[in-house]
């Protein structure tokens, strides 16, 4: 059984965001697996991948919020910053040889579920139109390009 299970209650109905959240859940499970093996190098590698992916995801969310005119972007960005500072402090302790796995996994599990269910859910309606119009633009561009080259 996975450390953290994806559930429908975490879905927004915006596939690109849902897929990113699913990937974060998968990373957390990979981190748990690496911690269970006791392989410090693998644990560090997975942790770095998770943190890098999370930063990219946060930037993506914030960009969508900005494009949609989401009124609470500044507060949402601040929540992301506080979380990343907390994780950076844990990462630093890990690099100094401290076993931070239980603390980090607990933080990630609790934070992810709460953040998705509350703060992230608040911006869904604002960004849906931006995502849908972007999808239409890409789809229109792709169709035009395909017709241009393949008739």
The pLDDT, as a whole number, for residue 140 is: 45
Total structural domains in the chain? 1
pLDDT one-digit tens code per residue, 50-109: 988 999 999 989 998 998 999 999 999 999 999 999 988 988 898 888 888 888 899 999
CATH of the domain at 25: 1.20.120.50
Domain assignment present for 1 = no
Domain assignment present for 2 = no
Domain assignment present for 5 = no
Distances (CA, A) of 31 to 36, 40, 52: 9, 11, 13
Structure tokens at 49: 């991948």
Domain assignment present for 19 = yes
Mean pLDDT taken over the chain? 84
List the domain range (segments joined by +) for residue 65.
14-150
pLDDT of residue 17 exceeding 80, the answer is: yes
| Predicted structure pTM score | 0.82
Q: Answer whether 107's CB lies under 8 Å from 88's CB.
A: no
Domain assignment present for 53 = yes
Domain assignment present for 6 = no
Query: Which residues, in sequence order, are CB contacts of 117 under 8 Å at separation 6+?
Result: 9, 10
Domain assignment present for 108 = yes
Domain assignment present for 134 = yes
pLDDT of residue 141 exceeding 80, the answer is: no
């Amino acid at each position: 059984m996975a450390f953290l299970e994806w559930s429908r209650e975490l879905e927004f109905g915006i596939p690109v965001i849902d897929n990113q959240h699913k990937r974060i859940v998968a990373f957390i499970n990979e981190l748990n697996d690496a911690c269970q093996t006791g392989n410090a190098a693998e644990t560090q590698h997975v942790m770095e991948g998770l943190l890098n992916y999370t930063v990219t995801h946060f930037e993506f969310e914030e960009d969508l919020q900005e494009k949609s005119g989401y009124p609470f972007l500044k507060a949402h960005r601040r929540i992301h910053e506080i979380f990343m500072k907390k994780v950076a402090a844990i990462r630093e302790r890990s690099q100094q040889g401290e076993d931070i796995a239980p603390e980090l996994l607990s933080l990630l599990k609790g934070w992810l579920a709460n953040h998705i269910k509350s703060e992230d859910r608040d911006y869904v309606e604002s960004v849906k139109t931006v995502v849908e119009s972007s999808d239409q633009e890409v789809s229109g561009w792709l169709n035009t390009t395909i017709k241009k080259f393949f008739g």
